[in-house]
A and B are shown apart, each in its own frame.
Chain A
Amino acid sequence: MSSKGARRQNIGQVHLVHERRGRPGRGPAARGWRRAAVSGGASVLCAAAITTSYGTAEQLSSTTYNAYGAPGLVDMPVATMPGDAETAITLSRAAGTTRTTFNFQVLPRVSGSFRYSIVDDYSGPGDDLFDRSFDLRLSVLEERTGWPGLTVGLQDFLGTGVFSGEYVVATKTVAPGLRLTGGIGWGRFGIRNGFDNPLGIVSGAFDNRPPVAEGGGRFNADNWFRGDASVFGGVRYDVTDRLSLAAEYSSDTYANEEARGLFTPGSPFNFSVTYRATPAIDVTAFALHGEAFGLAATTRFNPKHPPLGPTTGDAPPPVVPRADLVSLGWGDAVAGGADFRRETAARLAAEGIGLGRLEVDGRTARIGIRNLRYRSDAQAVGRAARVLTRTMPRAVDAFVLTLTENGLPITDVTLRRADIEALEFAPDGAAQSLARAAFGDASGTPVAASPPRFEWAIGPYLDTELFDPDDPLRVDVGARLRGRLAFGTGTFLSGSVRKRVFGSLDQSTRSSNSVLPRVRSDNAIYNREGDPALEYLVGEQFFRPGGDLYARVSAGYLEKMYGGVSAEVLWLPQTSDLGLGVEINYARQRDFDQLFGFRDYDVVTGHVSAYYDLGEGFVAQVDAGRYLAGDWGATVALDREFANGVRVGAFATFTDVGFDDFGEGSFDKGIRVTLPVAWFTGRESRQALDTTIRPVLRDGGARLSVPHRLYPTVRGARESDLGQDWGRFWR
């Protein structure tokens, strides 16, 4: 979709969530023989920067990316797909056009892109075009001996069509380092020496390409592969491992740009030189149609491969076999004595684990634990088991560990002490210990009432706002103080305040032109007036109404723009791929100053949700119900989640608000990326960075943002997720 510079409201949003669950881990001193750990939290950019230093050639493909940030030559695409999950961010500039593209290899044979383009003076002097577009590519045939790779692609398939084009492209490696590419294109790729669409044989409808609907953001399926077609082709030659040359015959004539007097192509040929500065960074210089020079830089990483390696945290405490307990000075008298609970709590705390209930009942010890440090609950279970081998009386031969999250007892994990002792260094200790562990729903397990406990954190925050034509990247930096008081069983009071130090979020002068209740589109006013801001102040009660069921009631200032009451119930059995939830909220819009007052608008909103684990890390989610503007509809989302916590997904919402009433973009949609801080710092931590990028933030299909929704809270501690991560048990 696209917008002319000064006309429309146009706000994207990056949402930083520093608190996921728990608190950061203890940082190791940078001594000994380990690689120096990078300290602190960060963002996608930070991850890219760190990956740049550590990414290795084995983890990344030999793909080069074109000026559109897609696998390609100069402007034209190739059929070759990057390695599964490879993620590339490309920044390019040539002929008055700047593009930033995020490309993700969704599946081994499917890749997708989100692109933000700025075309200088497109709509007149000083009136730039700001365009957001999505691509999708499918590998029909993988390259093999005797066969080229064959890929079908849709570029800018959801937009006003400025960059829209479709293609079928083939690439073949003909000699080591030498690849030939040829293709047929439509739309933007079907202009130079265009000929009648060969698909006209199938149906006359393919002969003409209708104009794109106003407003953008719609699936232009009746445009795809329509109109004249044209051929393109090229060659890439790898001079060395780090230096590649490309030449292509382009089927794009830049007709739009030429008509506006922005760029007049000379020859049909483009050339480029790509230098692989590090395995993760490419720098490309290119010549466009004999008339312009361009520059591009690509940084790549693969979520499957944390840049510092998969195992970076502190070593766990060694298992203490019962035979050695006495020699440690831990006879039974001491183990069962007055300091027994304190000692266990202290040793667990040193491993980033909170101790709840502790009962020794003959030969069985029952212990409630809270994972405060590890992304994987299996690792917390393993560390707790190691600690217990040291602190439990020798008579105890079984540990029942109850994983507890936000006061919800989720899973009972039963471990035999003899197995922990025997398998600590067993070559297949991971598989054997999993086979011998028993899991159960902890719905009936009592949770000890917690004495009041207060956790606090103070630190800097970073907030960004994207895609405002006046300044496509606005940034605020400031300080945030947050705290959480826990008491009773599953009762919490949480709050967060922040104060800007400097930044430009308050400089947006965009005003909403929405014809709907302005449930989100006054964002700029909230940014201007909310300093200091009370981000949230919420009382929460979590409880288990029954087996496989989880519940939450929250009340207070729930989020930046709304306060109210929220109630949710989730059904999620221990090993089920399917989860079902219901949430109902009464929400009232908060004052722009984000302090304690409210505005007049209120609404009852809520959803019925289905979550389905499709396998291979894919999770689908459908939420159907009533949104903030009172509109009814459904959100569909698909995420790919890696076991290390990285998540990349996309979502779209369709409601009974018509595309025209919605305004620019036609419906709410976006992509979201979650990066665990541990992934790129190498330090164990449960913090994660959630980024949601919407091309446009408007009022239709807007959902209340409630903290601590149940599905992400519960899921990782269940039997099926513990089993998937069980390799972490011994780490």
Chain B
Amino acid sequence: MTRRLAALALLALAACSTTEIAGEFPSSPLVGPDAARGAPVVASLPATGASGVFRPAGRNGDVTSWRAADGSGFATDRGVLVTTFGLGHDLYAADVSRLVAILTAGRSGTVRRVHRMLDGENNVTAESWDCDVRVSATRDSPSAGGRVRDVTEACEGPGGAFENTYLWSVSGDRAVRSEQFVSREVGMLRIAPPAPVATAIVPVAIGQ
């Protein structure tokens, strides 16, 4: 019996650690890293404490794609999260055009937000959230470099609720700091400009 258990343990161990070293000849050509363009942001997951530095990797219309050195990424429409990558339970796509219009206009209101997710069988599922958006009076923020508004977006939907918060730069016409819902499993994603000291010390990704 002991031998059997030892064999089982061995089986599990060997199976879990099976890693091949692979190669090819001629080897694939390599691409150099793209030159970084634009200011980075620090994104973090309050639920796990993990954080990383993300740089702009592309722009399509009003949407900016952000990528970290570890291959993770997300995209924002004027600072509002529209998709995430590599989190396991990602936000596949968010319909935020109404919200962005409200933020730009600087008026409180209600919006319906539709979140799409990919399930374990590659089906795209959608759920809608009804959100109450409250926009504060415009104030000065030296750290954000100009006039800003504080915005809360309280959403209720299928079996739950969440509250997103944004610091909206009036001059920049985008959210410069925010905490936004990704999914039930992942929780919130916090996006902020890097602290000056932090960027000086850790220029690339910060380990989790």
Contact = CB atoms under 8 A, between A and B. Distances in A.
Interface of A: 18, 23-24, 28-36, 38-43, 45-46, 49-50, 56, 303-306, 308-321, 324, 342-343, 345-347, 349-350, 376, 421, 424-431, 451, 453-462, 464, 471-475, 477, 504, 617, 642-644, 682, 724-728, 730-731
B12 A459 contact: no
Interface string B116-131: 1011111110000000
Nearest to A457: B22
Nearest to A26: B71
24 contacts: A28-B70, A30-B70, A31-B208, A32-B72, A32-B208, A33-B68, A33-B208, A35-B87, A42-B16, A43-B16, A46-B15, A304-B120, A312-B87, A346-B31, A349-B28, A456-B23, A456-B24, A457-B21, A459-B20, A459-B21, A460-B18, A462-B15, A475-B7, A731-B118
Contact of B7 (A316, A350, A453, A473): A473
A682 B124 contact: no
Interface of B: prevailing SS: mixed
B20 A458 contact: yes
Contacts, number: 262
Interface in B24-70: 24-26, 28-31, 43-45, 48, 50-52, 57-61, 63, 65, 67-70
Interface of B: 3-4, 7-8, 10-12, 14-26, 28-31, 43-45, 48, 50-52, 57-61, 63, 65, 67-75, 77, 82-83, 85-90, 92-95, 114, 116, 118-124, 185, 205-208
B89 A310 contact: yes
A314 B118 contact: no
B118 A45 contact: no
A421 B15 CA distance: 43
A281 to B, nearest CB: 14
Given A29-B70, A311-B90, A315-B86, A724 B122 contact: yes
A564 B87 CA distance: 48
Contacts of B205: 31-32
A311 B68 CA distance: 17
B16 A305 contact: no
A464 B59 CA distance: 52
Nearest to A38: B16
A473 B7 CA distance: 8
Contacts of A429: 93
A314 B207 contact: no
A426 B93 contact: yes
A647 to B, nearest CB: 13
Contacts of A474: 7
Contact of A314 (B19, B52, B72, B124): B72
Contacts of B16: 38, 40, 42-43, 45-46, 49-50
Given A41-B15, A425-B93, A457-B20, A32 B52 contact: yes
Main SS class of interface, A:
loop
A722 to B, nearest CB: 11
Contacts of B185: 56, 309
Contacts of A453: 24-26
B118 A304 contact: no
Given A41-B19, A425-B77, A346 B118 contact: no
A311 B118 contact: yes
B19 A310 contact: no
A156 B58 CA distance: 60
Contact of A642 (B48, B59, B85, B120): B120
Given A426-B93, A460-B14, A473 B8 contact: yes
Contacts of B75: 318, 425
Contacts of A726: 122
A475 B87 contact: no
Given A464-B11, A475-B7, A33 B18 contact: no
B21 to A, nearest CB: 5
A43 B15 contact: yes
A310 B11 contact: no
Given A31-B52, A309-B88, A727-B118, A40 B18 contact: yes
A427 to B, nearest CB: 4
A724 B85 CA distance: 21
A316 B85 contact: yes
Contacts of B15: 41-43, 45-46, 462
Contacts of A40: 16-19
Contact of B29 (A24, A31, A304, A342): A342
Q: List the 5 shortest-distance A-B pairs measured between CB atoms, nearest first.
A: A309-B88, A318-B58, A315-B73, A459-B20, A314-B71
Nearest to B5: A473
Given A321-B60, A460-B18, A34 B72 contact: yes
Contacts of B94: 427
Contact of B72 (A33, A349, A430): A33
A319 B58 contact: yes
Nearest to B19: A40
Contact of B88 (A308, A471, A504): A308
Nearest to A353: B28
A343 B30 CA distance: 8
A29 B70 CA distance: 5
Contact of A318 (B25, B60, B90): B60
A630 B137 CA distance: 86
A642 B87 contact: no
A125 to B, nearest CB: 17
Given A46-B16, A345-B29, A731-B118, A28 B71 contact: yes
A429 to B, nearest CB: 6
Nearest to B31: A346
B86 to A, nearest CB: 5
B12 A310 contact: no
Given A46-B16, A431-B124, A472-B4, A312 B119 contact: no
B31 A350 contact: yes
A453 B11 CA distance: 34
A504 to B, nearest CB: 7
A311 B121 contact: no
A424 B85 contact: no
Contacts of A455: 22-24
**Residue among B18, B75, B83 with max Cβ neighbours from chain A (10 Å):** B18
B28 A346 contact: yes
Given A40-B17, A460-B14, A727 B123 contact: yes
